């Protein structure tokens, strides 16, 4: 398939630094089949110390089959910073594909047609030229042994953390769909050489398609500007941060590429907030599930309750069970869409931390219960969890997409502060216990996940404030003073009548 037949526009982007001796050769080696009106070449000289820019200008001024644009950064941006400029140029100027090659000639321009082919077929969002698909060829091409070994060690480490299967993470021969680039925050990436790792992680987290194609390895007399030890450390640190971000242990904006989850999935089959909640249901009771989300937990509550009514701003169109009713409702409203006093139990699972003013909400809820004294069953994150404390010790307090430091949380609680909130808003706390971290959700429902839950439960018995991932609280709503006064008056009148009859 030819480029012209697809109608796609391609930008061949050459990053150049001190490439005075090689830049013209690189441009000359661009295949004839790409010298069309749909192709443009962009060379960005990253403030070289030699005459790279002026050498490139000679080619810009010459008549060519395609347009050549030469630019020079005002200040050295680094390998990653230079790429950011080229990719932004490609997006802003309406190109469909951007192909990255190096001005030192290390990556063969002759391979561009083969690397472009998957885009023409709609099979890829990114195509990498890999020197390690045929590993021995890399050595034959002159790759130093220490780089060959280091490349494979780092790649295996990165594949393990991402659960990916790339043959090489460290090739600089890369082609991207500009639509894919527009979906990821590449401008937040490092300006250094591990920019290439940042962008792979982003593509992976965004679920974009990466294809690898073998390319020849060439090492000439070019000067390597990469500090190997620093590069390896940067890769190691970046991958750990990416993994921690994925597991919601910290938050890194450049890896925030997926859709934010508005609701949480079900955590059943092991000790969790949801299993504790279901066990707390009084058989045959009427239950109000505040913040029911998609109704997953409401369905489980309904296996024991006579009737479950769920209210939330994100309820589905259909109820998950016959004895479940769902109502769309803004949690920060100062009134309720149901008669709260009709319920025996009120469940608030991972809700209170999202409220604009939890104290006012709990007081409003207490007033709405009238003279009835329903049980409140509540769970919330424990900000005193040892991992959060350790992060604070290291100077980190990063909000994330899920977990204790979910970005949508407006309030954070310890065991003591949550109990004080209930004491001060008119509730009698009857039970408080710790909930372990949902290891089976993070690691898979396997022996390791369940072992860690068991160990976590044991540590909670030692110190629930330190080792509880979440807090489980049961309380009884006490009547307000006006409600209690009305009850007192009515009860007194009844007793007076009974005393009169007795006389």
d(CA 231, CA 239): 12
Q: What is the pLDDT of residue 5?
A: 58
Assigned token pair, 28: 């000359």
User: What pLDDT was estimated at residue 63?
Assistant: 54
Q: In a structure prediction context, what are the per-residue pLDDT tens digits for the chain, which is 503 residues long?
A: 555 557 899 999 999 999 999 999 999 999 989 988 899 999 999 999 999 999 888 877 665 677 899 999 999 999 999 999 999 999 999 999 999 999 988 889 999 999 999 999 999 999 999 888 887 777 777 788 888 888 889 989 999 999 999 999 988 999 999 999 999 999 999 999 899 999 999 999 999 999 999 988 776 555 555 666 888 899 999 999 888 888 776 778 899 887 655 456 788 889 999 999 999 999 999 999 999 999 999 999 999 999 999 999 988 989 999 999 999 999 888 789 999 999 999 999 999 999 999 999 999 999 999 888 999 999 999 999 998 898 889 887 877 777 788 888 899 999 999 999 999 999 999 999 999 999 898 788 889 999 999 999 999 999 999 999 999 999 999 988 888 888 888 888 888 888 887 55
CA distance 155 to 161: 10
- Of 81, 90, 51, 57, residue with least CA distance to 71: 57
> What is the per-residue pLDDT for 470?
96
pTM of the model: 0.72
- Give the whole-angstrom CA distance, residue 501 versus residue 503: 5
pLDDT of residue 264: 62
Provide the phi-psi class of 86: left if phi over 0, else alpha when psi is between -120 and 50, else beta.
alpha
| Nearest CA-CA partner of 210 in 172, 253, 178, 164 | 164
């Amino acid at each position: 398939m030819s480029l012209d037949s697809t109608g796609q526009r391609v930008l061949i982007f050459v990053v150049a630094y001190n490439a005075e001796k090689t830049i013209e050769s690189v441009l000359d080696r661009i295949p004839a089949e790409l010298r069309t009106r749909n192709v443009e070449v962009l060379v960005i000289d990253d403030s070289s110390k030699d005459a790279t820019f002026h050498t490139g200008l000679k080619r810009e001024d010459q008549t060519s089959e395609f347009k050549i644009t030469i630019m020079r950064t005002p200040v050295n941006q680094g390998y990653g910073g230079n790429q950011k400029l080229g990719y932004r140029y490609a997006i802003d100027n309406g190109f469909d594909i951007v192909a990255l090659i190096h001005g030192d000639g290390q990556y063969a321009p002759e391979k561009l047609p083969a690397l472009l082919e998957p885009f023409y077929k709609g099979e890829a969002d990114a195509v990498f030229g890999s020197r390690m698909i045929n590993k021995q060829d890399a050595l034959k091409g002159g790759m130093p042994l220490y780089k060959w070994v280091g490349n494979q060690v780092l790649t295996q480490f990165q594949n393990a953390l991402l659960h990916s299967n790339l043959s090489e993470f460290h090739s600089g021969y890369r082609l991207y769909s500009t639509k894919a680039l527009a979906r990821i925050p590449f401008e937040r990436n490092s300006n250094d050489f591990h920019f290439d790792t940042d962008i792979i992680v982003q593509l992976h987290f965004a679920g974009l398609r990466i294809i690898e194609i073998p390319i020849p390895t060439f090492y000439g007399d070019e000067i390597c500007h990469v500090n190997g030890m620093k590069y390896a450390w940067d890769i190691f640190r970046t991958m750990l941060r990416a993994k921690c971000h994925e597991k919601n242990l910290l938050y890194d904006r450049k890896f925030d590429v997926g859709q934010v989850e508005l609701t949480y999935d079900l955590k059943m089959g092991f000790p969790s907030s949801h299993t504790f909640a279901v066990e707390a249901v009084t058989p045959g009771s009427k239950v109000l599930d505040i913040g029911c989300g998609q109704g997953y937990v409401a369905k489980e509550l309904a296996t024991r309750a006579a009737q479950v009514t769920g209210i939330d701003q994100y309820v589905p169109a259909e109820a998950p069970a016959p004895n479940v009713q769902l109502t769309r409702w803004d949690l920060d409203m100062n009134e309720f869409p149901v008669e709260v006093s009709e319920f025996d139990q009120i469940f608030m699972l991972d809700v209170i931390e999202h409220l604009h003013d939890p104290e006012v909400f709990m007081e409003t809820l207490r007033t709405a219960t009238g003279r009835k004294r329903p049980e409140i069953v509540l769970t919330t994150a424990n900000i005193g969890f040892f991992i959060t404390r350790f992060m604070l010790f290291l100077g980190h307090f990063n909000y994330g997409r899920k977990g204790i430091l979910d970005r949508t949380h407006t309030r954070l609680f310890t065991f003591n502060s949550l109990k004080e909130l209930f004491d001060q808003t008119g509730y009698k706390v009857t039970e408080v216990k710790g909930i372990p971290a949902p290891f089976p959700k993070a690691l898979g429902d396997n022996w390791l996940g369940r072992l860690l839950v068991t160990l976590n439960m044991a540590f909670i018995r030692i110190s629930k404030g330190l080792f509880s991932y979440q807090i489980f609280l049961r309380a009884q709503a006490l009547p307000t003073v006006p409600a209690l006064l009305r009850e007192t008056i009515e009860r007194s009148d009844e007793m007076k009548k009974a005393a009169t009859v007795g006389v």
